[in-house]
Structure 1
Amino acid sequence: MEKDIWQELYDKAREVLNPRTISPFIMAGGVASAILSRNGNIYVGVCIDTASTLGMCAERNAIANMITHGESQIDKVVAVMEDGSVGSPCGACREYMMQLDKDSSEIEILVDLRERKTVKLKELIPDWWGKSQF
């Protein structure tokens, strides 16, 4: 039986989904993300929300983890909300992903786990301003 990569990514994100208060100013773990690099490695991250807006989304946290481990190309992305549903990356995360690599527009994003519905990043951020600079 073929491995279901979307379920695997979802499960990895769910493992780190853990809403909690870090301090009176920081909440973390209400959203979790797992990304599959083009090299086949999985990286996870959680959102870190701060009173000063200096936090980061789960997707960017997972990307930071990937970059820390020497990779910079993404194949697939899953974001899991506190209620267990999946969701689309915010605008800042979309922009961040587009700037990583000339082929980032082809990143697949899970938008419905049950139906295995995905969209490509280029569908969420068409006519991206930086394309010509690659």
Structure 2
Amino acid sequence: MAGLDELFERAKAARAQAYAPYSRFPVGAALRSASGAVFSGCNVENAAYPLGVCAETSAISAMVAAGETRIMEILVLGPGPGRIAPCGACRQRIAEFAPSEALIHLADETGAAETTSVSELLPRAFGPASLARG
């Protein structure tokens, strides 16, 4: 599973760069786009709490800035022990760019991962197809 190992290592490297002086909860994320490229990101906090950026959002922004718009899988790594899942806002952001069957890997510091899908984490998601109904 070399692909998953690469996502883990990239998320781990991004997490090491996280700016989390308030929560002290550094998070890293790495995603693989439809082209096979890997994009990573980390959380960036702000003293005005609502202005912070989640790691998943950071990785998605890097992907979009590179001209891509399709997530095939994403790995989220927080401090351990234990796995963390994307927050509600990030689940919505992931759903914007990923098919419902896209894989979401929840990792901890040991590298162990639980794998789920977009549809399992955000059932009945509102997305681009929802707007086409109108």
CA contact (8 A) 2:19 2:45 kept: no
Q: Indicate the residue corresponding to 1:50 in structure 2.
A: 46
Q: TM-score, normalised by structure 1?
A: 0.80
Structure 1 residue 126 and structure 2 residue 109: aligned?
Answer: no
Quote the RMSD (CA, aligned, Å): 2.6
Q: Indicate the residue corresponding to 1:79 in structure 2.
A: 76
Does the C-alpha gap of structure 1 residues 21 and 55 become closer, same or farther in structure 2, counting only changes over 3 Å?
Answer: closer
Larger relative strand fraction = 1
CA–CA separation in structure 2 for the residues paired with 1:93 and 1:18: 20
* Structure 1 spans left out of the alignment, 5+ residues: none
Cα offset, 1:28, TM superposition: 8.4
SS in structure 2 opposite 1:119?
strand
Which aligned runs of 4 or more in structure 1 are off by greater than 4 angstroms? 19-22, 26-29
CA contact (8 A) 2:31 2:74 kept: yes
Q: TM-score, normalised by structure 2?
A: 0.80
- Give percent identity, aligned residues only: 28
Task: Tell me how many residue pairs correspond in the alignment.
Answer: 127
Q: Indicate the residue corresponding to 1:99 in structure 2.
A: 96
Cα offset, 1:111, TM superposition: 2.6
